[in-house]
Amino acid sequence: MANNVERNTTCFNEHSKRNLTCRKIKCRCWLEDSENLNCAVIAAQEGPRTLQEIGDLFGITRMRVCQIEKSVMRKIREEIEHD
């Protein structure tokens, strides 16, 4: 049973449980933010953030975050309409 649990875990869960900073720079969830163990998933688990806070995490402007959000929401709506 323990082996099954280990296989179903994720890197961000393991980093979070052990309070270890991620060093896998090539990971698509990696971001330079030691406060959140360099993990965007861990950062997102802290709850809602302002556009400015998100921009600061990723090194982009709040306006760019807004543009990305609108684009993603449009794509989600289009996908829902096609189903």
Could you list the pLDDT tens digit for every one of the 83 residues in the chain?
Answer: 454 445 667 888 888 899 999 999 999 899 888 888 999 999 999 889 999 999 999 999 999 999 999 999 999 999 999 87
Rounded distance, CA 51 to CA 61, Å? 8
**pTM flag (> 0.95):** no
Which runs of consecutive H residues, i.e. helices, occur in 2-61? 2-7, 11-18, 40-44, 51-58
Rounded distance, CA 73 to CA 27, Å? 24
